[in-house]
Structure 1
Amino acid sequence: MLGALAKKLFGSSNDRRVKGYAPRVAAINALENEVSALSDEALRARTDEFRQQLANGAKLDDLLVPAFATVREAAKRVLGQRPYDVQLIGGIVLHEGSIAEMKTGEGKTLVATLPTYLNALEGKGVHVITVNDYLARRDAEWMGQLYGFLGLSTGIIVHGIEDEERQRAYAADITYGTNNEFGFDYLRDNMKYDVSQMSQRGHHFAIVDEVDSILVDEARTPLIISGPLDDKSDLYVTIDKILPGLVKTDYEVDEKQRAVSLTEAGNEHIEQLLREAGLLKEGDLYDAQNVTLVHHVNQALRAHTLFQRDKDYIVRNDEVVIIDEFTGRMMPGRRYSEGLHQALEAKEHVTVQPENQTLASITFQNYFRLYKKLAGMTGTAATEADEFFQIYKLEVVEIPTNVPISRLDEDDEVYRTFEEKVRGVIREIKEAQKSGQPMLVGTTSIERSELIAEMLEKEGFKLIDFSDQTALEPIYAAARAGTPSNSFAVLNARFHEQEAYIVAQAGVPGAITIATNMAGRGTDIQLGGNAEMRIRHDLAGMEEGPERDARAAEIRAEVIDFKQRVIKAGGLYIVGTERHESRRIDNQLRGRAGRQGDPGRSKFFLSLQDDLMRIFGSDRMDGMLQRLGLKEDEAIIHPWINKAVEKAQGKVEARNFDIRKNILKYDDVMNDQRKVVFEQRREFMSLPSVRETIDDMRHGVVEDTVTRRIPEEAYAEQWDAAGLREDVLTYLNLDLPIEDWAKEEGIADAELRERIRTHADDAYADRIARNTEEVMTYIEKQVLLQTLDHLWREHLVTLDHLRQVIGWRGYAQRDPLNEYKQEAFELFDGLIGHLREQVTGNLMRIEVRFDAPDEGSLPPQEAPPLGFASEYGASSGSGLQYAAIDGDLAVAERNPDDPSTWGKVGRNEACPCGSGKKFKHCHGQYA
């Protein structure tokens, strides 16, 4: 009570924070006349002035007011848009490293230009991160005009571009791209073998668009770069054929936890089926030798019971493509891990791709926490404010709308069955059609959107074919005549390419658009339609001239007329056909109506057979509705039901947050180790020579070997001299008379250690002299990096397996997380020891060999440019990959000053002139 009273008197903490920005907004407005009087050249010159002030010691905060005033004026001149005061507030919030919650249609894309310009002045790079390639391209091209006018460069990172293009894009002042590409580039950079090949130049400041979608929804699954393992496609196909033999009593499905498990009867039944198929040859299913079989059965069971075609994935071009449950978009290139994707491929009878091994991985949480300053913007963040603060230390600030919202949000209509609900939606569509009110019908899956489309077609409506350039003409004609249109559009993952155009024209009078989730579409629904996009689309084939200008003017006038009709009809009508697990997704759908003070309304239609209602106790409600005498096709409407649904959604959101927090706790352990490995790796790449590290490793191996075989303060008789001799031969490639040394009178372990070290140093010095200093310097770095990569990949697999079983420690009253931390530390300690041994072992055997190159034998970034092999074979037990380079003369026979003695030099070989550069970057570039 007191809290509510205080809020009424003094406003909420959010209100007080927003009011606190008023003085700076007033200061920016005060500069408007002065800045608008400047010429284009003088306005552009302000960028250099600001940079000079920063160089002289000024802080970014000191420049905020003049910089924002400059961007506002540039936006007016270049884009024809003047940022409102509330947009200036949004820009200040982003500059402070917080999340700006701004409703749909408030111009978030333009808001981002204010802090982006200010922070780009430092020259350290600003990343603007969006949810898909289309938005990244659109925003970079659109806002890039403004940045270019002010003298800043813009780059774009999208799927499929080459490394050189990526480097240029990251070198720009401002870089636009998708969250996946930024994350994968970070991982790829840490798999390179030369600093010059790396793309990213640091993590200074990032603005994340649709921040809730990226930092919350997509944070459930980590980014993984993987490589193929052995092909087991036949096993997946065979198990998939067996699975239909199970009956419903053989397994239990827990939809709340998205889990499925075999019952006791199911275990016996599947064992019998596996034996008949010849897969289970001995023992029971859960014997140690059958662990892999259990894994494959479980994944096949998950694929058949928990994953639905056209909801979780679609099948296209002989492949299973994952659908993002929050945006309804396809995610090509993304695959489920641990064999689940292969199980889905077997289920859908498409080509089963080989399983993959993790080469590098990172969660979105840990990637975005790399940035020194992080900010975000979205229309719906307040419901996840706790998570943003706990995970990312980001505060959410609700920015007031430029014009008050006048949308009417009606109570939900709840029907008993799914069929009754769909009939209710169809009736509502027909009713709205009579007044010419445009409708956006939101669904949660492709399957549901196509079902509603099918029912509309049965009712006489016609599905628009967007491959026809004149597809929307019937809707425009009906709108002109003021008669109901019988056409409708479908927007889902199948029609991804046309989505911007479909969304842009969803506000035409009488338009019906069925959409699978509306998160992050990036295109506003303007009442009456989007004139500029319609002109680009309809007049694409017309040449510039008076005729085209006249037609464009007609379209603009018509859109204005259409807008007035839609406003009179009540604005855009949002119909939700189901509640989503997350309230944010429902709010995003609702937020499509009522932009910039436009009228609008929204209503959700539910049934007790919907997933959310069914999973969270609809049985009791069904009984209650029957007792109340609810007849077929009747709905119950009451604010209490809204509250009950919100409570159910709150439970799901809390559970999902717990899942993400738990994932993060375990990943933080790996992340600490990842940071150490990646930092060490970068240090190795940036050093001109790693000789000092190699020497330390060799001495470390000597120390470990002697300590293992000669206990501290032990008598010579207790020494394991034979074992020490074997170890020295294995790790140092030296056959030394250690047993004879151990018999010498008065010899101490320190003296023995020193002798081994001296012999190892001498042997290595001889190897350097034989293979030349330049070549060995290069090879040392390559061996070190490749061995580290190989061991790190094995370590990732081991940690993954450890994490899957560590939960069982809870039954022994031990905390699984602490157990995981302890074991992971011990494994990492072992990794360091193995690294020393394998690097030393390989370098003590290495010999340079010049053979004909094997084109394409290894990926360029994984193959060392210069070939080498050990005396005992190429791999020497380390799993390293070596490539050989052609050369008809030994290195030692080449005279650096006489190119005629060099013979054929490999393109990636060190230049024989002794410059230290690769041949292709030195004398080879003239050849």
Structure 2
Amino acid sequence: MFGALAKRLFGTANERFLKSLDPTITAINALEPKLQELSDEALKGQTEALKKRLAAGESLDDILPEAFATVREAAKRTLGQRHYDMQLVGGMVLHQGMIAEMKTGEGKTLVATLAVYLNALSGKGVHVVTVNDYLASRDAEWMGQVYRFLGLEVGCIVHGLTEDERRAAYAADVTYGTNNEFGFDYLRDNMKFRLEDMAQREFNFAIVDEVDSILIDEARTPLIISGPAEDSSESYKNVNKLIPDLVDEDFEKDEKARSVTFTEPGAEHMEELLRAAGLMEEGSLFDIQNVSLLHHSNQALRAHKLFQRDTDYIVKDDKVVIIDEFTGRMMEGRRYSEGLHQALEAKEGVSIQQENQTLASITFQNYFRLYPKLAGMTGTAMTEATEFQETYELEVIEIPTNVKVIREDFDDEVYRTAAEKHQAILEQIRDCQERKQPILVGTVSIEKSELLASLLTKEKITHQVLNARFHEQEAFIIAQAGVPGAVTIATNMAGRGTDIQLGGNLEMRISREAESIKDEAARAKKIAEIEAEVAEAKQVALAAGGLYVISSERHESRRIDNQLRGRSGRQGDPGASKFFLSLEDDLMRIFGSERMDSMLQKLGLQDGEAIVHPWVNKALEKAQQKVEARHFEGRKYLLKYDDVMNDQRKVVFEQRKDMMRAEDVHETVADMRSEVVESMVERFIPANAYSEQWQVDSLHEESLRLFGLDLPVHDWAKEEGIADQEIRERIAAAANQKMAAKTANFGPEMMRGLEKQILLLVLDRQWKDHLLSLDHLRQGVQLRAYGQRDPLIEYKREAFDLFENMLAEVREETISLLSRVELRPSAEEVVVPRPPQEMHEGRQDVAMASVGAGAAPAGAEAEAPARQPAASRAAAAEIDPNNPATWGKTPRNAACPCGSGNKYKHCHGKLG
């Protein structure tokens, strides 16, 4: 009660924040008359003037009013669009590193130009992240007019660019691109051998469009660059043939958790089938020698019982193509991991592609947290405000619409069967068509969109279908969805990026119908005709009540439903929305529709009748909140695991950059050689051991293996009073002498180049093997819960041990290779080529990524590694002796910031 009273008196936190921006809005508006009087050249000159003010010590906040006013004037002159006050508010929210929630049709693409221009003035580059290549190209060209007019360079990163084109795009002041391309470029850069080959610069500021789709929905599926592993396609085919012989009692399926497992009788039945097929000779399916068969059996079971054709994937051109569950788009090139994709290929009888091994991987959570400053914009973020705050330290600000929303949102209609629901949808469509009202019908899968389309075809109702099969015509279908009486069926409306304008999209029609006309007079006449037609059609659509949004089902996420609703009622237009549901829908069925069905029968609900009540809406929203909470826990759990790898990834990637920056790595290699000798002697001559206990034979063999040195270790061990320290010094001296002789023989320059290339090559190979070890550890560690041990803590501990072992292997392999490598004196330059390998980019399977999410064991919520607060991220480049997170920038030969008195390379910057 007191909270409600306080809100009435003082306003919400959101309202108070918006009010605090009023003085800046006034300042920007006051500059407008002055800037209107400037010539184009003088307006362009504003960019240099503002850059000089920054160089003189002023902050971005100091020059914000002038920068925003300049962009607004430039947009008026280039695009014919003027930022209104609420768009200025959106720009300020983005500049402050927050998420701006702005409804559909409020012009988010234009809003971004304000914060982008202001932050690009620093010269450090700004990234604008979109959900697909079409939007990245469109926005870079469309908004690029504003930036180029003001003297800034604009780049665009899309699939298929050459390395040189990528570097040029990242060097621009403003770079548009997709989340996938930015992430993959980061991974690819950290596999390069020279700094000049890297595409990306140091991260500065990123604005993420459709931020909920990218940072929430897609965060469960890490980006993976992989290379081919051993071929096992026949195994997938053989096991796939056996799955249809299983019966329902052989497995347990949990649709909520998206999991399926063999029961005990089911495992025995599977063993019988495998033996009968000659695939398993002895032992149980769970014996160590049959671990590969168990893996193939589990994946085949998942492929058959969890994944549905035309819902989770489609088959096209002899390939299984994944369907994005949130946008309904085909995800070309993306593959499920852990062999699931191969199992699906076997199920569908298409060519089985070779399995892949991970070479590099990162989640979107950890990729976007690399930016010192991050912002986002979307039409629907408030429902996920907690996750944005917890994961990214991003605050969500709800920005009021420029014109009040007058759309009418009707209560849901719930029918007993899907057939009754579909009949009600058809009647609603007919009613709207008779009144010339445009209709948008939302569905959750391709299968359901095509079922509705077939019903409309039977009824002879003209319609357009937008799903993964018709991906190419997306922009045109959406652009014309506002024509009077038009019926458009769409699988999902998230991140479409094209507004549905009543009467149709004027620009789209002109580009398709008039731009190809060569004669200027004829083209002008055609454009005038199109403008008149669109204006007339808009009046008809407005009179009919605006866009009517129908949904054939509720999605698991309230945001997706809100995105669909938000397509109607843009910029003060009238509109309406209604959801038609049945007890056979997935969400209703999973969350207890049996009880509701029996209750409705008792109440005497007749065929074709619907239950309509606000309480039903609230109950469904609660069910959606449960699913959202489950997914949030899954993403949090995934992130805790990935944070362990991320700490290691940052160390390895930073070390690689240090090596590439260094003129030579001779000191690092010398340190490694010293550590390898020390470790080797410690292993075979333990501290305080008697000389009789020394493993002299093993020490001799190891010296031969690692250094190629046939040393008289046996004779040394017989000397009176000799200690381990002296033997260590003699081996080190011999190893150093051998390397010095090589350097003298072939020249220091050649040896320095060789050292650097071999060290990078070995580090990459060991990191790749380490990632595979972590994958295996991750899969097996969940079983520790049965022993009352927290899998996450076990994973952290063992991952650390594996990392230590990896660094030891890097040292040993580098020293061994350098000791044995022979150089040709005639060679002018030594080049150690990277082993040729085919690389694939993909995304991990959602179901695999959230393993353990729904059933985290006791204690699994152990705290995640501490992260820097958002406010201090920008200062991470400065070295703070009290903050170890900032020590990574210390030069290797400088004193360590910890105060030990040692060089950084011998202390906290030590490789291993």
Superposed pair shares fold, TM > 0.5: yes
Give the alignment partner of residue 498 of structure 2, picking from 519, 523, 544: 523
Aligned partner of 1:802 in structure 2 is 777
Structure 1 residue runs of 4+, over 6 Å off?
A: 850-857
2:503 is the alignment partner of 1:537: no
Q: Distance in 2 between matches of 1:23 and 1:44?
A: 26
The 5 Å alignment of 1:699-718 reads 699-718=674-693
Q: Name which of structure 1's ranges 824-833 and 812-821 shifts more when overlaid on structure 2.
A: 812-821
Aligned partner of 1:101 in structure 2 is 101
Counterpart amino acid of 1:846?
A: V
Q: Distance in 1 between matches of 2:618 and 2:739?
A: 75
CA contact (8 A) 1:191 1:861 kept: no
Name the SS of the counterpart of 2:407 in structure 1. strand
2:551 is the alignment partner of 1:589: no
For 1:37-93, what per-residue CA distance to the aligned partner results, in whole angstroms no more than 9, with x for missing partners? 111111101101111111111111101110000000000000000001000000000
Q: Distance in 2 between matches of 1:50 and 1:717?
A: 78
Counterpart amino acid of 2:420?
A: E
For 1:865-898, what per-residue CA distance to the aligned partner results, in whole angstroms no more than 9, with x for missing partners? xxxxxxxxxxxxxxxxxxxxxxxxxxxxxxxxxx
Aligned partner of 1:265 in structure 2 is 265
The 5 Å alignment of 1:42-57 reads 42-57=42-57
Q: Distance in 2 between matches of 1:716 and 1:268?
A: 57
CA contact (8 A) 2:754 2:831 kept: no
Give the alignment partner of residue 640 of structure 2, picking from 665, 668, 671: 665
Aligned partner of 1:480 in structure 2 is none
Aligned partner of 2:348 in structure 1 is 348
CA contact (8 A) 1:192 1:861 kept: no
Aligned partner of 1:741 in structure 2 is 716
Counterpart amino acid of 1:270?
A: M
Q: Distance in 2 between matches of 1:40 and 1:460?
A: 55
2:715 is the alignment partner of 1:762: no
Name the SS of the counterpart of 1:456 in structure 2. helix
CA contact (8 A) 2:750 2:830 kept: no
CA contact (8 A) 2:441 2:552 kept: yes
For 1:100-130, what per-residue CA distance to the aligned partner results, in whole angstroms no more than 9, with x for missing partners? 0000000000000000000000111100000
Name the SS of the counterpart of 2:225 in structure 1. strand
Q: Distance in 1 between matches of 2:734 and 2:832?
A: 39
Shift of residue 861, structure 1, vs aligned partner = 11
Q: Distance in 2 between matches of 1:154 and 1:321?
A: 33
Shift of residue 249, structure 1, vs aligned partner = 2.1
Name the SS of the counterpart of 1:75 in structure 2. helix
Q: Distance in 2 between matches of 1:39 and 1:77?
A: 11
Name the SS of the counterpart of 2:464 in structure 1. strand
Aligned partner of 2:210 in structure 1 is 210
Name the SS of the counterpart of 1:31 in structure 2. helix
Aligned partner of 1:921 in structure 2 is none
CA RMSD of aligned residues (A): 1.7
2:456 is the alignment partner of 1:488: no
CA contact (8 A) 1:441 1:576 kept: yes
CA contact (8 A) 2:754 2:830 kept: no
Aligned partner of 1:280 in structure 2 is 280
Q: Distance in 1 between matches of 2:364 and 2:165?
A: 24
Q: Cα distance 1:644–1:102, how it changes in 2: closer, same or farther (>3 A)?
A: same
Q: Distance in 2 between matches of 1:189 and 1:84?
A: 40
Q: Cα distance 1:292–1:861, how it changes in 2: closer, same or farther (>3 A)?
A: closer
Give the alignment partner of residue 640 of structure 1, picking from 615, 628, 632: 615
Shift of residue 372, structure 1, vs aligned partner = 0.3
Counterpart amino acid of 2:634?
A: I
Name the SS of the counterpart of 1:574 in structure 2. strand
Shift of residue 510, structure 1, vs aligned partner = 0.4
Counterpart amino acid of 1:205?
A: F
Give the alignment partner of residue 699 of structure 2, picking from 703, 713, 724: 724
2:394 is the alignment partner of 1:419: no
Q: Distance in 2 between matches of 1:250 and 1:452?
A: 35
Aligned partner of 1:385 in structure 2 is 385
Aligned partner of 1:139 in structure 2 is 139
Q: Distance in 2 between matches of 1:121 and 1:832?
A: 42
2:662 is the alignment partner of 1:687: yes
Shift of residue 717, structure 1, vs aligned partner = 3.3
Q: Distance in 2 between matches of 1:777 and 1:370?
A: 32
The 5 Å alignment of 1:45-444 reads 45-444=45-444
Counterpart amino acid of 2:299?
A: Q
CA contact (8 A) 1:193 1:861 kept: no
Give the alignment partner of residue 786 of structure 1, picking from 758, 761, 784: 761
For 1:642-661, what per-residue CA distance to the aligned partner results, in whole angstroms no more than 9, with x for missing partners? 00100000000000000000
Q: Name which of structure 1's ranges 648-657 and 752-761 shifts more when overlaid on structure 2.
A: 752-761
Name the SS of the counterpart of 1:406 in structure 2. coil
Q: Distance in 1 between matches of 2:217 and 2:230?
A: 32
Structure 1: 5+ residue stretches without partners: 462-486, 863-927
Q: Distance in 2 between matches of 1:815 and 1:318?
A: 43
Give the alignment partner of residue 559 of structure 1, picking from 529, 534, 537: 534
Aligned partner of 2:903 in structure 1 is none
Shift of residue 855, structure 1, vs aligned partner = 14
Q: Cα distance 1:246–1:854, how it changes in 2: closer, same or farther (>3 A)?
A: farther
Q: Distance in 2 between matches of 1:348 and 1:131?
A: 29
Shift of residue 137, structure 1, vs aligned partner = 0.2
Name the SS of the counterpart of 1:110 in structure 2. helix
CA contact (8 A) 1:406 1:597 kept: yes
Aligned partner of 2:814 in structure 1 is 839
Q: Cα distance 1:265–1:861, how it changes in 2: closer, same or farther (>3 A)?
A: closer
Name the SS of the counterpart of 2:678 in structure 1. helix
Q: Distance in 1 between matches of 2:835 and 2:147?
A: 41
Name the SS of the counterpart of 1:334 in structure 2. coil
Counterpart amino acid of 1:55?
A: A
Q: Distance in 2 between matches of 1:505 and 1:278?
A: 59
Structure 2: 5+ residue stretches without partners: 840-912
CA contact (8 A) 2:102 2:399 kept: yes
For 1:437-478, what per-residue CA distance to the aligned partner results, in whole angstroms no more than 9, with x for missing partners? 0000000000000000001111112xxxxxxxxxxxxxxxxx
Counterpart amino acid of 1:638?
A: H
Name the SS of the counterpart of 2:463 in structure 1. strand
Aligned partner of 1:924 in structure 2 is none
2:823 is the alignment partner of 1:848: yes
Aligned partner of 1:617 in structure 2 is 592
CA contact (8 A) 1:771 1:847 kept: no
Counterpart amino acid of 2:821?
A: I
CA contact (8 A) 2:440 2:487 kept: yes
CA contact (8 A) 1:87 1:107 kept: yes
Shift of residue 516, structure 1, vs aligned partner = 0.6
Name the SS of the counterpart of 1:847 in structure 2. coil
Q: Cα distance 1:231–1:853, how it changes in 2: closer, same or farther (>3 A)?
A: farther
Q: Distance in 2 between matches of 1:264 and 1:712?
A: 52
CA contact (8 A) 2:439 2:481 kept: yes
Shift of residue 772, structure 1, vs aligned partner = 3.0
For 1:133-184, what per-residue CA distance to the aligned partner results, in whole angstroms no more than 9, with x for missing partners? 0000000000111100000000010111111110000000000000000000
Shift of residue 540, structure 1, vs aligned partner = 4.5
CA contact (8 A) 1:129 1:178 kept: yes
For 1:519-554, what per-residue CA distance to the aligned partner results, in whole angstroms no more than 9, with x for missing partners? 000000001111111111122432141111111111
Shift of residue 283, structure 1, vs aligned partner = 1.2
> How many residues are treated as equivalent by the alignment?
837
Q: Cα distance 1:370–1:544, how it changes in 2: closer, same or farther (>3 A)?
A: farther
Aligned partner of 1:17 in structure 2 is 17
2:583 is the alignment partner of 1:628: no
Q: Name which of structure 1's ranges 377-386 and 791-800 shifts more when overlaid on structure 2.
A: 791-800
Shift of residue 743, structure 1, vs aligned partner = 1.2
Q: Distance in 1 between matches of 2:606 and 2:831?
A: 76
Shift of residue 807, structure 1, vs aligned partner = 2.1
2:550 is the alignment partner of 1:575: yes
Name the SS of the counterpart of 1:666 in structure 2. helix
Normalising by structure 2, report the TM-score.
0.90
Q: Distance in 2 between matches of 1:241 and 1:572?
A: 49
Q: Name which of structure 1's ranges 210-219 and 228-237 shifts more when overlaid on structure 2.
A: 228-237
Q: Cα distance 1:714–1:155, how it changes in 2: closer, same or farther (>3 A)?
A: same
Name the SS of the counterpart of 1:441 in structure 2. strand
Shift of residue 713, structure 1, vs aligned partner = 3.1
Q: Distance in 2 between matches of 1:711 and 1:282?
A: 44
For 1:327-349, what per-residue CA distance to the aligned partner results, in whole angstroms no more than 9, with x for missing partners? 11111111000000011111111
Aligned partner of 2:849 in structure 1 is none
Aligned partner of 1:776 in structure 2 is 751
Name the SS of the counterpart of 1:122 in structure 2. coil
Q: Cα distance 1:304–1:738, how it changes in 2: closer, same or farther (>3 A)?
A: same
Name the SS of the counterpart of 2:758 in structure 1. helix
Shift of residue 857, structure 1, vs aligned partner = 9.7
